[in-house]
Structure 1
């Protein structure tokens, strides 16, 4: 285990000292991780602030509700008292007694909610004292009423001390409401700022990560072009410069291995921050929904406190930014998967075996029957010459070309796709995939085989990697692929393979 760790450290150190794509890619990945860390911190901060804001608003509402319930029950008790003194009816006394029984519980609830709140605590203590005094006055007048001394009881009422206490309690409760509303407004402003800042950070991080992915893709494309250029040069000098061919071949192999290694790093290491961005975007969306529900409640209960800019930010700007981040990260994930597919295919060892091409291609055609039948098209597979080659690569090549032919059929006429083949005199075999679809413009005949390049109307899903993958697979098997096509008339893809894979 220690030897493996030491060997890995030495390899990594050598990799850092080596200039080129590897070190550049490592720097880009490090920057991506830093961006991810920033996004994580911003998201955690936002979630914490949102939770704190929600708890503050909830506590404020409960304090206000408890204070108002206390006042309402005191008013009920006062109503019962006065009704009893005026009419002598026991029904009013029942109302009074029920309200008095509820008051201790309401007062205790208000005490519990404000136990740690020094600013509100003094006002609650004054409320308790005034409520106790007001209850004492009511009990005294009721006792006089029961003793048939209604005149004395009404005299106490007319002195106005009870009304003065009730007015003072209303003033204290209004002051408590004002304090809680001021706190809520401050928290709301802080929460809105945090939400906006987090959305901005996430959007910026998403854009920067996409830019990094674009740079990585460009670097990979550059290396692929260099590899293709080296291959063409080797073909040109192969006849009389075997030593140079050997040297260039070694360079090509090393370049290909480096590209595959870097593609592996992209597909795994870059996906980790991408998945986290997508996950934290979902958490941010959930937090935004919580804020929206809370603001909807405030909008209903206190519309004068709600600002239109805040509603617009929470209900339109935030979802729009999150949607942009999600769409961009999904596109980046598709690009990473496509690069990984190219990398895996390049590392796979080809296996030669005799293949019945007619049977294999017919199975591929049968697999797209549900698509062709739905548009009134058909795929015809003639008797094809067999060969000895790599089955998986051939299935992928023909599957991709037939699938493309089906996708790009012309809606102006019934679709016809024909697969035919012939043995050539030089030990090669040629296959043709012929369709009467949209066709390809002359200027795009070569471009369609390049990475991330597509031709014609872009109304079908894809990243522009299918034909590049096909061309790479055909070349690995020692073959070649070309296209003959006229725009609006159809296309013919010509594939040439050696009869036996060496």
Structure 2
């Protein structure tokens, strides 16, 4: 009973350890997934800041192209670039809403993006009202270049900040992945050990059952042999042993009815029957000793 109780305690302990290992593996996997999402988030920020800078430059380029060619399709291209720039700016603000440092930089980016948009519009209006030479004077003023440089500078600061965060997140993700792999390896090794222990236990129990079966077969064989000996003994007693006993009883009865001069022959027969009985008893004892 104590052995069975101890075995139940061991099983409960193994199950508890397995649950703890599985929980640790799940927690490590969730941590890796969270870190990978943060790395992916950083990549998205870098992608959208690059698009923001590109679309802002496209707006100024199409405005200058309109100044030189006066082609109306350039106006639609400017409008499309401005809309794309503002959309990318909103996306970056949304992605970095929890980063106060980047939000501060985005305020400056928003300022210079609006100035670049206003610069493109002013260039277009001046070209339409005063001609190409007036537009060239605006370009030569350097205001557009200054706005572009400032916008690019703040975008680069945002990208640098996000790149630094990504490096930290990648390192954290690598550590989390390493920890997750260790948890998986330990859990797998523990499960494998439990399986091997169960197989060994099943093998031991099978061997024990086989030994019990062999012992039972041996007991059955012994019982069959002993029953056979008892059957032979019963047959011996009922046939061989009863003959001399019956002779002795019959001769004793006959001896009581005879005169003294005729009793000598009967006494000889009694001695002979008694000798036969004694020999049969000895044979019986010898047979029983051999069977034992």
Distance 1:118 1:162, change over 3 A: same
User: CA offset at residue 166 of structure 1?
Assistant: 0.9
Q: What aligned pairs does 1:109-148 form with structure 2 within 5 A after superposition?
A: 109-148=91-130
Distance 1:150 1:499, change over 3 A: farther
Q: Which residue of 1 aligns with 2:36?
A: 54
Q: Secondary structure at the match of 1:64?
A: helix
Deviations along 1:399-455, one digit per CA (max 9) or x if unpaired, are xxxxxxxxxxxxxxxxxxxxxxxxxxxxxxxxxxxxxxxxxxxxxxxxxxxxxxxxx
Q: Decide whether the 8 Å contact of 1:85 with 1:150 is kept in 2.
A: yes
Number of aligned residue pairs: give it.
225
- Mapped to 2, the partners of 1:104 and 1:189 lie a distance apart of 33
Deviations along 1:273-316, one digit per CA (max 9) or x if unpaired, are xxxx45xxxxxxxxxxxxxxxxxxxxxxxxxxxxxxxxxxxxxx
TM-score, scaled relative to structure 2: 0.65
User: CA offset at residue 132 of structure 1?
Assistant: 0.5
Q: What aligned pairs does 1:144-223 form with structure 2 within 5 A after superposition?
A: 144-201=126-183, 203=185, 206=186
Q: Which residue of 1 aligns with 2:86?
A: 104
Q: Which residue of 2 aligns with 1:333?
A: 195
RMSD (CA atoms): 3.3
TM-score, scaled relative to structure 1: 0.40
User: CA offset at residue 160 of structure 1?
Assistant: 0.8
1:69 pairs, out of 35, 43, 51, with 51
Q: Which has the higher helix share?
A: 2
User: CA offset at residue 39 of structure 1?
Assistant: 1.9
- Mapped to 2, the partners of 1:39 and 1:331 lie a distance apart of 14
- Mapped to 2, the partners of 1:77 and 1:182 lie a distance apart of 30
Q: Secondary structure at the match of 1:180?
A: helix
User: CA offset at residue 81 of structure 1?
Assistant: 1.0
User: CA offset at residue 31 of structure 1?
Assistant: 5.0
Q: Decide whether the 8 Å contact of 2:18 with 2:191 is kept in 1.
A: no
Deviations along 1:325-349, one digit per CA (max 9) or x if unpaired, are 3xx7346425415634765x7xxxx
Q: What aligned pairs does 1:97-496 form with structure 2 within 5 A after superposition?
A: 97-201=79-183, 203=185, 206=186, 277=187, 325=189, 329-330=191-192, 332-333=194-195, 335-337=197-199, 339-340=201-202, 343=205, 468=207, 471-472=210-211, 474-479=213-218
Q: Which residue of 1 aligns with 2:240?
A: none
Structure 2 portions without partners, runs of 5+? 228-292
Structure 1 portions without partners, runs of 5+? 1-14, 207-276, 279-324, 346-467, 481-495
- Mapped to 2, the partners of 1:497 and 1:172 lie a distance apart of 98
User: CA offset at residue 120 of structure 1?
Assistant: 0.8
- Mapped to 2, the partners of 1:195 and 1:151 lie a distance apart of 62
- Mapped to 2, the partners of 1:105 and 1:201 lie a distance apart of 43
User: CA offset at residue 477 of structure 1?
Assistant: 3.8
- Mapped to 2, the partners of 1:498 and 1:106 lie a distance apart of 95
Distance 1:97 1:202, change over 3 A: closer
Pair 1:42 & 2:54 matched: no
Bigger radius of gyration: 2
- Mapped to 2, the partners of 1:470 and 1:52 lie a distance apart of 53
Q: Decide whether the 8 Å contact of 1:74 with 1:103 is kept in 2.
A: yes
- Mapped to 1, the partners of 2:14 and 2:177 lie a distance apart of 22
Q: What aligned pairs does 1:3-22 form with structure 2 within 5 A after superposition?
A: 21=3
> Which portions of structure 1, spanning 4 or more consecutive aligned residues, are displaced by more than 4 angstroms?
21-31, 340-343, 496-500
Q: Which has the higher strand share?
A: 1
2:72 pairs, out of 72, 75, 90, with 90
Q: Which residue of 2 aligns with 1:394?
A: none
Distance 1:332 1:36, change over 3 A: closer
- Mapped to 2, the partners of 1:36 and 1:330 lie a distance apart of 11
**Greater RCO between the two (CA within 8 Å, min separation 6)?**
2
Deviations along 1:224-270, one digit per CA (max 9) or x if unpaired, are xxxxxxxxxxxxxxxxxxxxxxxxxxxxxxxxxxxxxxxxxxxxxxx
Q: Decide whether the 8 Å contact of 1:80 with 1:94 is kept in 2.
A: no
